[in-house]
Structures are given as C-alpha cells and as structure tokens.
Structure 1
C-alpha cells in the first residue's frame, strides 16, 4: 500500500503520456514507436501497460468471453454475441489496444537492456507475452516479427504463423526466468508485485506453463517434455505456489488505480445481463460456496441462470422466469477496489492436474485438482477451513477420483474458477471441448461456437495484402476456422 501511494500521482502522468503517445493516425502502422521518450527509466513504463492492458482484456472479456462461454446472457438489444453475431468493427479496439501495449513493452525492454536492467527486461518480456498471446489466441496468425520493430518504418507488417509466434513467446518466458535476479535493483512502478523479482519469476514460469498446456496438442512443440522439465526442477523454474504469489490487479480504490467497472453504468455492466444457465447449474449441483461472489439471487432467493442462444423475445421471457426473475452479476464485482486476476494459483494447480492426469508429470492429479478448487475459493474469499472444503470436495458431483477423474470434471471446475479471468475459459473450451455448452437454436455461424475472431476491419483496410495472404493460409477469415493449436 505504501508503494502504491508513493507512485499514484506518477501513474496518472505516465498513463497520460502513454495514451497520448500511443494514439497514431494509422493504428495498423504498429511499428511507429509508441513511446516517444527513450530517456525515461524503463520501470516507469510498466504501470500504464499493466493498468491499461488489464482493462482492455477485462473489459472485452466481460463483453465477449462471458457471453460466448455462457457466464452471462445479454437480454436486450445491446449486442447479439450470445448468438454469435458481431459488428464488422467489433474487434478493432482489442486488436489496436493490445498492439499498443505490446509495443510499449517492447520499447521498455530495449531501454532496460541498454541499462542492463535485468529485472525490468524480464518484466517487459512477461507483459509483452501476455498481450501478444491473447492476440494470437483470439485471431490466429498475426503481425509479430515485423510489427514491433520501432523506427524501421515497416508500414505493412507480414502476418507470422501462430507456431512461430508461440515459439518466440515461450523462448522469451524462458529468458525472463533467467533474467530475474533478487539481488539486483528492480526500480519500477509495478502494480502487480511491487517490484518483487521472486514473484515475477514465478509469474513468468506459470505463464510459460499456461502456454505450453495450450499448445500441448501440437507434437512439434514438445510441450509435455518442457512441462516435465519445469516440474522436476522447481528451484530453477519456480511456479506460483500460493494465493499470495498470484498475479492479481489489486486495485486500491483510489483514482486512477480503481476497478473501472465502478465507473460503468449499472445497465451496461449487469442491468440487461443475466447469469448463464450452465454456470449456475454446475454451481447449484455442487452447492458451490462461491455463488454469492459471482451472482445475485432471484426473488425467491435462488441462483438461477438462463439459456443462451435464443431469440430476443425468448431470452426476455427466460430472464423474467414467470415473474420470479433470474440472477445477475454480483454487485461486488463492480466495487472500485475489487481485484481481478491475470494468472492465479488456482489455474496453476489445474494446469498441473491436467499434466498429471495425462501422464506428462509424475504426480497425483487429484491432489492438484483439490488444491485448484481450494485456491479458487480462497481467491474469492470464501470460507474453506473447517468442514466447508472437505464437504465440497467429497460431493459426488465434485469428487475427482477413480472413474470421476476425467478431463470433463477437471475442466468443469476450472471453468468455474476462471470466471472473470480474461478469455482463458474460451481458450480452454476451444482446446478441450469442455465444459460441454448447449448451443441455442437462434445462434449463427451454423451453430458453432466461434473458434476465433475475424480479423479487424482496420487491418483489412490498411494492410490488405498481408491480411489476404494470412486469411488464405489459415483456411479463411471466419469464425469457424481453427487456430493452429486447436484440435
């Protein structure tokens, strides 16, 4: 808290500089140096990237991911995302925004490297990886090697293959692990770990674990062997090992460092949305203690969701529920100091449970599964100690042992845990097919839950030749085309 208070005014000015310098007339000209200053301390560039990047991802996940993954269902005419219908420019904002932040981190890395500032070099690599991995997981092949090259004036960057992008990102995370050094200075306005190099190292390796699991269906990436190498050498490759280690944006509630949902109109945040039936059904069946953190109760005091993918009139009727109403997002999610996750201890445990279940590591999958559930409950500040946790894990609908130790059960619990964790549940669904989500009769895209986002209008208009080549290579720029790592 003392660290954050000390830098709060500095953050305001940094954000203003970053936003001003990042707004170019032509967003597709991604390589235009987004940070117009090179004499600043590299650590001062970290906070605005964290703050702005987190908001870009969290805001768009609330708008898109939560509808696709049926965490929520929009009942009004505001959007048709639950029916897989998108405006042509829907994806422009997240494309441009994440590229700007990735560019900022690329510049931060270069400035830090000039000063041999290893900890800020490592932090820049981790944050850049977070932004770029989201971009490629949303769209597939994207500009990368020619898109972050500063002053070289490459106006029309080529689209790199997703395989080559992942190879580069995974190498960067391995480099970051080697760079972080607790014995050297880490001078930064760091809104996640307050300059704790040991925790940044765990973050880097946990991000690498996440991405390795994501590409584990691709034999050419040798992901299981890399995961085993990390798991068997925790001294060299430490992972997030507690809720205290996890990468969270823990807002102070003091402007500008606040949860920006606080300033969003109630109608836009939750007013016309209802909780999705799949999420509420799973949580009701398991008598989940996290429900009150996620949702409100309806008039009789029950947690009730509505089905997704129906026409507007049917959806409104489902929401009314014969006058009994249905659940909406919990109001606490909108509080000015409510924290949102980037990468949690719960997720790390579920990743290791999957690795153990598939035989990539020699470990007890049930133990990691149980720890994943426990970590999620504690992340959401739910009572676990005493009999609450043991009772929950012993339920027939939760227990992970014998014939119930399946990917479907693991991913169903991970689906609950990844609520408001960016687009991670959508990426997991596309990789594993879990949880099984019912597809409503009014959905477009031939009733196929989107496998990727279509390239933004802005890149089609300003970098058409590169776009056309990429679209042909991936098999067509549409919502049904699989990205490289999907089954």
Structure 2
C-alpha cells in the first residue's frame, strides 16, 4: 500500500490528535511560552511521523537525482556542474540528516514513554536508514554520543566520531530490534495518513526493515562475510522481505508546496530542468541492450544529426522540419516541447569534416570541460538546452504523480542482493531466478513490464552467471536512487566507471568530505576520524579528508580502483 504524502493534511490530523491528548494552559502570566507550541514531553508520535518520513525520503532522492547520479554516471549537467560531474563535494554537509535524526530521536523517546512498539520500530528503522546513509557517504561520524545535546553532560556538545564499523554494527543491531518489535506491534494508535510509506501496515514495515538489513549485510560482506552470510540466509528463510514492486518502500510526490519533484520545470525559468542531461555511459548501456526503460528515463534529442558527405560545409547553420529547411538553427526549449512535439527535426553534417553523435539518444560523456558545447550545440551556455543531447524524459518536468517517487528500497534491489548472495554460494536459492526477478520488478516499477520477454533475450542481458552482470542491472534499476549504486560501485568496482577529463583525479571519487561545521565546532573529535581514513594514491592535496581516501569498509581492498 502506497500513501500519497499530503503533508499539510497529515500535520493537521496529527495536531488534532495531539490536542485530544493534551490540555490547554491559558495562564496570561506565562508570557514567554508560545501558546501554540507543543511540549516535546507530550507530543503525539503521529505528529512527528510525516516530517521524519518525508524529509528522509526526499533527502535520499535528492542525492540520487543530483550529485550521486552524476557520480554513477546516470546523468551529467551542462551548467552548474562541478558537484554533479566532477566530485566537488567540499560543501556536502550532513546537517540535514542529523536534523532528521533529532526529530526521530524524539519519536523514539515518546514511543518508549507510551510503550508503543510500532512507533519504536519505525523510529529504529528510520534511525538505521539515516545513519546508514551518513556512514556510507562520509565514513566515521558521531553516532553513540550523537543526539544527546539536551544532556547536562557538556561532553555531548562535542560528540566523538565512531568508526564506520561501529556504525554499521549499530545499524544492523537496531534493524534487528525493529523487526522484533514489529513481530507483535499494533498500529491501532496510528493515523494511517501520517504513515507516508505504508499507511500503518505493520507487515510492510517489517519487510522494509528486513530489506534494509539485507542492504547492510551485503554492504559489510567483504569485511564480515560470516555475519553477512548468516544474516542474509536467515532473512531469505523467513520470507519477510520486499518481494514485489507493489511492496516497494516509496514516498509519492504529489506536487504540493512541500512535495515537489526535484527536476520539475518552472514556467518562465526552465534552466534547472535543462541542466539535467543523460550521461553517455548510461545511454550506451540502455541502447546496447535495447532496454525498454530508455524512453522512460530520457527524451530523444530534439534535433537529430544526419550524416551527409556531400555537404559543402562542416554542418548546416539551420535545422530542418520533416526534411524541409527552416530559417532557424534552434528553437527555445518550450517551443520544442509544447509547439513542435511529434515533429521530426534534423540537422545535417559532413562526417568527413566533423564528428557528431547522430543517434536518436545521446548523452554527455562524463567530466567534460565544457559540457554545454558538446555535440555541436548551437546555443551553449549555463542552463541552456542542448538540442543534440538527450535530456530527462518529459515526465520529469512535472511536479508530482505517476512514476515520480522517492524510492528508499525496492523489490528489484532485494532480488539483486539475493542474486549476488547466491553467486557467493550462500543458501538463498537460484542466482538466475533472483536476477530475472530483479529485472521484472524494476520494469514494473517504471511501468515497462510489457518489454520484459524481449529484453531478457538481448545479448548482455540473458543471465551469464557473473556478479558484474547482476550489479550492472542493479545500477540500471537504481535510477533516481543512485546512492545504492554508488555504494555498490565502491564495494565491487562495477560497473567499470571511468572518470572524465575534468575530474581532479583520474578515478571516480569514494566519499564526501567533512563539512566546515565539524572543523569549526568539533575539531578535537574529528581528528580521530581523519586518522582512521586511509590515504590513497589519489587523495591529492586534500590530505586524508579527500573524496579519494578510503574509509574502513574499503581499506585493504583493491576495489573500485
């Protein structure tokens, strides 16, 4: 069951519920107390739930559509692109994640006070989801001492950084506790509209928690193979995990004021949408396997190049409509989309004089120095369209609805985890069965399931019994959820991504750098975390706190480079 995230409605319902549980205090002499404020010691958990769930999901999707989509080469940007295309992550702070954790900690405290197993389980699950992302991206981080700023002990104002190993162990322990709570939990006290993921369905929450456990068992599988193997096999035997796309953990975008899809087109200012363009690495994969998701993810080029060796010049300085010359070399973006949808625009070039990509779908190669000029764009510049490169499919211009969802974890991911586990020799069934189930679940999620039979018959898609193939299809399935593909690439080296020419280092980066707040306000604690990072040949001038240094999970390995 998937519940649309109508936040205002949820917050209103939560407030009504809270009012029903508390008494008003209208003493006129309490001038410093906000009469509309909520006492944290009395807040109803239903009031906290929507903000935690929405913020966590939207933050995860923002990573998967922006910087990490560039890192795993799903997309590239043609303007304001350094973070997206070239790993300029110096300002990637974690303040937003810890804000979510503070609210979530209040949810847990209230759930314990009220002796409510459901809210305790939800809180532990979301704590694990958020801390899992933090340690995936930064490495060591405040964990054990975090979220205790209200304590009288001043030491908690400067929380120590726990090792990445400690955090992963804690994430797994909390998820196991959450699963145990969901075994007997009741959702009777839950306002279903406020549970933006599952509408108060306890079984769905248990499947979600177990599926996250699978994610993190596989994450540590090289460091702690025995722990990972036992954990994955136990969950597989239980059957309590996400098994179909209808059970995916998602948050719908509805287009409300706090609920707008990340890349939506803004009238009179389409620049932001136009910056998102396909990466040629991803286009090569999709086109090379006749992937039915290609047109779901990307639009064809607005103007297709046509080779003409008889052309007297390198290229025409006009475009053609259904073969007939026009007096313009380009149209405004909105004209292509709104006025000329369905028309066949072309432009001729002489392949003896210039080399252009004349495919119907074209991506930007990763890490270009001047991406807006690529492939003969007649109107280069920050935020302008490139009529000769594929942008996002028109669906992603919308504010919400349809396939525009935050996808926290899916049946596709779970199936690919089991496929990889089976290839390791673990007792989880057939790798081939799980592999094909992962493809089908992804196609269903993107509403492309009708192309399944033809797709799996393609060379390179038909199962070949390799981890590389499993991770490659998992990479495709992680569209808009690139954080997981980024973690898989670091762990396995697949797909074999190559850094572009403007990358400061010749290999793909591994982590975010610590933010300035930590250096300015918690300098003593950060020292130990920096000492535990491993310098690599590519750490460069940043020293240990480099995007190319290795955290615990990847130390002692030769992956991904």
Under a length normalisation based on structure 1, what TM-score does the superposition of the two structures give?
0.87
Counterpart for residue 414 of structure 1: 474
Residue 47 and residue 334 in structure 1: after superposition, are their counterparts in 2 closer, same or farther (change >3 A)?
Answer: farther
User: CA offsets per residue over residues 9-63 of structure 1, 9 Å max, x none?
Assistant: 3437979xxxxxxxxxxxxxxxxxxx96221111321110111222222223322
- 8 Å CA contact 1:450–1:479 kept in 2: the answer is yes
Counterpart for residue 22 of structure 1: none
Residue 81 and residue 245 in structure 1: after superposition, are their counterparts in 2 closer, same or farther (change >3 A)?
Answer: closer
d(CA) in 2 for partners of 1:216, 1:291: 32
Higher mean displacement: 189-198 or 147-156: 147-156
d(CA) in 2 for partners of 1:451, 1:2: 34
d(CA) in 2 for partners of 1:209, 1:344: 12
1:76 aligned counterpart, secondary structure: coil
2:299 aligned counterpart, secondary structure: coil
Q: Does 1:242 align with 2:244?
A: yes
Counterpart for residue 135 of structure 1: 134
1:423 aligned counterpart, secondary structure: helix
Counterpart for residue 223 of structure 2: 218
Where does 1:204-283 land on structure 2 (aligned, <5 Å)?
204-219=209-224, 222-234=227-239, 238-262=240-264, 267=270, 269-283=272-286
- The answer to which structure has the higher helix fraction is 1
User: CA offsets per residue over residues 310-363 of structure 1, 9 Å max, x none?
Assistant: 212x66224739986010112212422222211111111111111111112241
User: CA offsets per residue over residues 48-101 of structure 1, 9 Å max, x none?
Assistant: 011122222222332210111111112224535422334x4x212xx0000110
Choose which of 53, 58, 76 in structure 2 pairs with 1:73: 76
Residue 273 and residue 174 in structure 1: after superposition, are their counterparts in 2 closer, same or farther (change >3 A)?
Answer: same
User: What's the CA shift for 1:264?
Assistant: 5.9
Counterpart for residue 478 of structure 1: 546
Choose which of 420, 423, 426 in structure 2 pairs with 1:360: 426
User: What's the CA shift for 1:292?
Assistant: 1.5
Choose which of 436, 443, 451 in structure 2 pairs with 1:377: 443
User: What's the CA shift for 1:130?
Assistant: 0.8
d(CA) in 2 for partners of 1:3, 1:217: 37
- 8 Å CA contact 2:3–2:251 kept in 1: the answer is no
Q: Does 1:284 align with 2:287?
A: yes
Count how many residue pairs are aligned between Structure 1 and Structure 2.
453
d(CA) in 2 for partners of 1:277, 1:5: 34
User: What's the CA shift for 1:262?
Assistant: 3.5
1:250 aligned counterpart, secondary structure: strand
d(CA) in 1 for partners of 2:298, 2:5: 32
Gaps of 5+ in 1: 16-34
Counterpart for residue 522 of structure 2: 463
User: What's the CA shift for 1:477?
Assistant: 1.2
Residue 396 and residue 61 in structure 1: after superposition, are their counterparts in 2 closer, same or farther (change >3 A)?
Answer: closer
Choose which of 297, 306, 319 in structure 1 pairs with 2:364: 306
Q: Does 1:51 align with 2:54?
A: yes
Under a length normalisation based on structure 2, what TM-score does the superposition of the two structures give?
0.76
1:195 aligned counterpart, secondary structure: coil
Where does 1:340-351 land on structure 2 (aligned, <5 Å)?
340-351=406-417
Residue 3 and residue 374 in structure 1: after superposition, are their counterparts in 2 closer, same or farther (change >3 A)?
Answer: closer
d(CA) in 1 for partners of 2:366, 2:517: 30
